[in-house]
Copies of this chain bind each other. A is one copy, B any other.
Amino acid sequence: MVSYPNGTKKNKKCPNSKNFANRGMTLEAMINHTNEYYLDLNLANIHKKPTPITIVKVDYPSRDKAKITEAYFKIPSTTDYNGVYRGKAIDFEAKECKSKTSFPLALIHPHQIKHLDNVLYHQAVAFILLRFTYYDETYYIEAKKVVAFYYNSSRKSLSYKWVKENGYLIPFSLTPPIDYLKVIDKLYFQEEIKWLLKN
């Protein structure tokens, strides 16, 4: 077996999809921009959690600088993003998909599905942001739908058709790039917002 000392690594399971959280590419950048925008405009306080790692060894090359010299990535037990909006707990995971036809559920850790199910039980606003790069489209899918599909369907992936029917396409916008609060407003706060606009 050949090892890859220079770090190139092939994703055997799904060559057409990538786990966004691990590679730090466009969707993550877009969500980070969006969250900064929400923070700057005092609309919401939502952050990406740091990558969970196990630290094994730390050196102190100078008095005021600690250098981690051995650490390993851990499998995340929760989702990547959470925070607060209008008092409600917000909790979501973001995934990017290069395939034109479907998103393999194997790219979401079973821990994360369990976590989404659990925060739903505690009444959080929980969802997945799924981006089909080919179509340049990002969908908001309520966690309850993904969790139900995961536990009840014999299929192992969400088809693009299913996502179009069950998710909400996030309207295109430059600032912020992924305006997912628009969808949350529609799903959870329509009455409250109407009332605020009237009064």
Contact of A51 among B39, B50, B88 (CB under 8 A): B50
CA distance A78 to B121 in the complex (A): 25
Task: Report B-chain residues with C-beta under 8 Å of the C-beta of A78.
Answer: 47
Interface size class on chain A is: 35 or more
* A135 interface residue per 8 A CB criterion: no
Q: What number of copies of this chain does the assembly contain?
A: 2
Q: Give bound CA distance, A72 to B58, whole Å.
A: 9
A44 and B69 CA atoms in complex are apart in Å by: 36
- Cross-chain contact B3 with A62 (CB below 8 angstroms): yes
| Cα distance A191–B53 in the bound complex, in angstroms | 41
A3 to B67, CA, bound (A): 13
A contact set with B: CB distance below 8 Å: 1, 3-7, 9, 39, 42, 44-45, 47, 49-53, 55, 58-63, 65-74, 77-78, 82-91, 115, 118-119, 121-124
